[in-house]
Structure 1
Amino acid sequence: MHQSALLCLVLSSLLTWGNEAPAAHESATTAVPSKPKPASKPVAAKPAKPLFTSTVAPSEAAKPAAHAAHEEDPNHWSYEGKLTGPANWARINPAYGLCAEGQAQSPVNVDKAQLQKLEPLKITYGLSKLAILNNGHTIQVNVEPGSWLEALGERYELKQFHFHTPSEEAINGRRFPLVAHMVHASESGSLAVIAVLFKEGRANPTLDALWPRLPEEHGETRSYSERVLSPASLLPDNLRFFTLKGSLTTPPCSEEVRWLILKTPLELSSAQLERFRQFFPMNARPLQALNGREILESE
Structure 2
Amino acid sequence: MDRRAVLKYSLLGLTASSLGMGSLQSIVKAAEGNGKKPSWGYTGAAGPESWGELSDEFAICSTGTSQSPINLTSAVDADLTSLSFDYQDTFLAIVNNGHTIQANYEPGSTLQLDGQSFELKQFHFHAPSEHIENGVPTAMEVHFVHQNPDTGALAVIGVFLKEGRLNQALQPIWSRMPKTTGGQKTLDTGFNASSLLPGDASQFYRYYGSLTTPPCSEVVNWIVMKEPISVSRIQVARFIQAIGERNARPVQSLNRRFLLD
For normalisation by structure 1, the TM-score amounts to 0.76
Within 5 Å, give how 1:254-273 maps onto structure 2.
Answer: 254-273=217-236
Give the whole-Å Cα distance in 1 for the aligned partners of 2:218 and 2:46: 21
Is residue 286 of structure 1 aligned with residue 250 of structure 2? yes
- 1:104 touches 1:293 (CA, 8 Å); kept in 2? no
Give the whole-Å Cα distance in 1 for the aligned partners of 2:117 and 2:259: 21
- 1:246 touches 1:258 (CA, 8 Å); kept in 2? yes
The Cα shift of 1:118 comes to: 1.2
Is residue 8 of structure 1 aligned with residue 21 of structure 2? no
Q: What are the superposed Cα offsets for residues 198-235 of structure 1, whole Å, 9 maximum, x if unpaired?
A: 11111001111111111112111101234x22011000
The Cα shift of 1:15 comes to: 4.4
The Cα shift of 1:269 comes to: 1.0
Within 5 Å, give how 1:20-59 maps onto structure 2.
Answer: none
Could you tell me which of 194, 210, 216 is aligned with 1:232?
194
Within 5 Å, give how 1:72-221 maps onto structure 2.
Answer: 76-81=39-44, 83-187=45-149, 188-221=151-184
- 1:104 touches 1:291 (CA, 8 Å); kept in 2? no
Tell me the secondary structure at the aligned position of residue 175 of structure 1: coil
Give the whole-Å Cα distance in 2 for the aligned partners of 1:261 and 1:291: 20
Structure 2: which amino acid aligns with 1:284? A
Give the whole-Å Cα distance in 1 for the aligned partners of 2:184 and 2:247: 19
- 1:126 touches 1:147 (CA, 8 Å); kept in 2? yes
The Cα shift of 1:91 comes to: 1.1
The Cα shift of 1:153 comes to: 3.0
The Cα shift of 1:132 comes to: 0.2
Within 5 Å, give how 1:233-248 maps onto structure 2.
Answer: 233-239=195-201, 240-248=203-211
Runs of 4+ in structure 1 over 6 Å off: none
Give the whole-Å Cα distance in 1 for the aligned partners of 2:106 and 2:180: 23
Report the number of matched residues: 240
Q: Which moved more, 1:163-172 or 1:111-120?
A: 111-120
Tell me the secondary structure at the aligned position of residue 129 of structure 1: strand
- 1:163 touches 1:179 (CA, 8 Å); kept in 2? yes
Query: Based on CA coordinates, which of the two structures has the bigger radius of gyration?
Result: 1
Q: Cα RMSD over matched residues?
A: 2.0
- 2:97 touches 2:182 (CA, 8 Å); kept in 1? yes
Give the whole-Å Cα distance in 1 for the aligned partners of 2:208 and 2:97: 26
Give the whole-Å Cα distance in 2 for the aligned partners of 1:241 and 1:176: 16
- 1:181 touches 1:196 (CA, 8 Å); kept in 2? yes
- 1:7 touches 1:254 (CA, 8 Å); kept in 2? no
Structure 2: which amino acid aligns with 1:281? E
- 2:176 touches 2:186 (CA, 8 Å); kept in 1? no
Q: CA 1:142/1:107 → structure 2, altered by over 3 Å: closer, same or farther?
A: same
- 2:73 touches 2:134 (CA, 8 Å); kept in 1? yes
Could you tell me which of 198, 203, 212 is aligned with 1:249?
212
The Cα shift of 1:6 comes to: 4.1
For normalisation by structure 2, the TM-score amounts to 0.86
The Cα shift of 1:119 comes to: 1.5
Give the whole-Å Cα distance in 1 for the aligned partners of 2:41 and 2:179: 18
Give the whole-Å Cα distance in 2 for the aligned partners of 1:214 and 1:147: 23
Give the whole-Å Cα distance in 1 for the aligned partners of 2:30 and 2:60: 17
- Listed as ranges, the gaps of 5+ residues in structure 2 are 1-17
Q: Which residue of 2 aligns with 1:29?
A: none
Give the whole-Å Cα distance in 1 for the aligned partners of 2:137 and 2:188: 35
